[in-house]
Amino acid sequence: MPDERVPVLEVKNLSKTFLERDRGLFRRSANRAVEDVSFRIDTGETFGIVGESGCGKSTVARLVMGLERPTGGAVYFKGRRIDGLPESRLRPLRPHFQMVFQDSGSSLNGRKRVRDILAAPMIYHGAAARGDAPARVDELLDMVGLPKGVAARYPHEFSGGQRQRICIARALSLNPELIILDEPVSALDVSVQAQILNLLRDLQDRLGVSYLFIGHGLGAVHYISHRIAVMYRGRIVETGDSETLFSRPAHPYTRALLDAAPVADWAARDRARIVLRGEASGADWDGGCAFRGRCPYAGAACARAGCALKPAGEPGHFTSCVDAKAARERS
């Protein structure tokens, strides 16, 4: 019986700094892609990470999957530390956490038929004998809402939405406890996006699988996540229950994101909102709040603020804004 108190995934103080050859022959600049990120995901829960380009959310996904080594911090899967494990020790654990990517076209091997794509992980990890594979493949296709007959086709014969279903089926083939989804619906049309989001929710209800859902579309992340973290330039600036976070945001950046997200409602058109100045600059972290260059509420205290998360009033709700209360009052 699984121990309900041990979170499926726990990330503590995760950091990743990339050294990039930026100038000249030998100098390199440090790119702090992820800085001090911590969160946990419990069984059957969806944790969403939302943020704009360059915020580090994709890097977090890669760190959790073990595709990159962290420069600091740790990743725990069901209590076991998995970051830094050599591939040979990690491999037996891989069936337990799987990943779905944004571009379904390039995630699937165009030269293999669907049935081979879906059967391969099962056969490799010994989850199914070669003879049982076709039956299992049919089962998986049914689970993701694809008709059985398509198993013999090639990926290019499918639409984007269908391909994404195949990717989800592949992820499910090993009965993982956790699926990491990196922008799975960003490249899909609205109607298809709705189908995939509903599918993911249904699968979670049926199978109890947890999700780490990474996206930049606030509506989609809100729909599927129980709890959400907002990232900006490598750091989590706010985290909390998805209800609370979007109705009572405690960080100006979250507020700005909400204001910027277009709403299909005429009444929302002329609402008062924050329009951020400029763009996320490449300036290095200097000990103050990374957001203060664009923040409309920036004050003197912000230059000395760290990026540590502080309670924002409600249980489970944290923010890194030093002036959280004031920010909330303005919203």
Partner 1 sequence: MLSRRFPAERASPHSPARLMKGCCAMITPILDVQDLDISFLQGRKTLKRTDHVSFSVNPGEIVCLVGESGCGKSITALSILGLLSRQGRVTAGRILYRGRDLLTLDERQLDAVRGREIAMIFQDIMYSLNPVFTIGSQLVEVIRRHLGYDRKKAEALAVELLDRTGLQQPAAVMRKYPHQLSGGMRQRAMIAMALACRPRLLIADEPTTALDVTIQLQIMQLLKSLRDETGMAILLITHDLGLVAEMADRVVVMYAGQCVETGDTRRLLAAPAHPYTRALLQAVPGVHDARDRRLLSIPGAVPEDYHDMAGCRFAPRCPYSDVCGREAYVFEPEPGRSVRCCEAVAGGRDSHAG
* Residue 269 in contact with partner 1, rule: CB under 8 A: yes
Binding-site size for partner 1 (CB under 8 A) equals 43
Burial 53-83 (b: 16+ CB within 10 A, else e): ebbbbbbbbbbbbbebebbebebbbbeeebb
Choosing from 30, 135, 260, 301, the residue that interacts with partner 1 (CB under 8 A) is 260
Choosing from 64, 178, 257, 295, the residue that interacts with partner 1 (CB under 8 A) is 257
Choosing from 124, 243, 296, 311, the residue that interacts with partner 1 (CB under 8 A) is 243
Nearer to partner 1, 17 or 186 (CB): 186
Q: CB–CB of 77/8 below 8 Å?
A: yes
Piece of the chain touching partner 1 by CB under 8 A; list 34-42, 74-82, 271-279, 319-327: 271-279
Q: Which residues pair with 268 in a beta bridge?
A: none
Choosing from 259, 293, 298, 314, the residue that interacts with partner 1 (CB under 8 A) is 259
Piece of the chain touching partner 1 by CB under 8 A; list 17-25, 26-34, 155-163, 205-213: 155-163
Give the nearest distance from C-beta 66 to partner 1 in angstroms: 28
Nearer to partner 1, 4 or 270 (CB): 270
Task: Give CA–CA dist 154/163, Å, rounded.
Answer: 10
* Residue 263 in contact with partner 1, rule: CB under 8 A: yes
* Residue 264 in contact with partner 1, rule: CB under 8 A: yes
Nearer to partner 1, 15 or 225 (CB): 225
Q: Binding string, 174-213, against partner 1, x = CB under 8 A?
A: ---------------xxxxxxx-xx---------------
* Residue 272 in contact with partner 1, rule: CB under 8 A: no
Give the nearest distance from C-beta 294 to partner 1 in angstroms: 8
Residues of this chain that bind partner 1 (CB under 8 A) = 52-53, 159, 161-162, 189-195, 197-198, 216-220, 222-223, 242-243, 246-247, 256-266, 268-269, 273, 275-276, 278-279
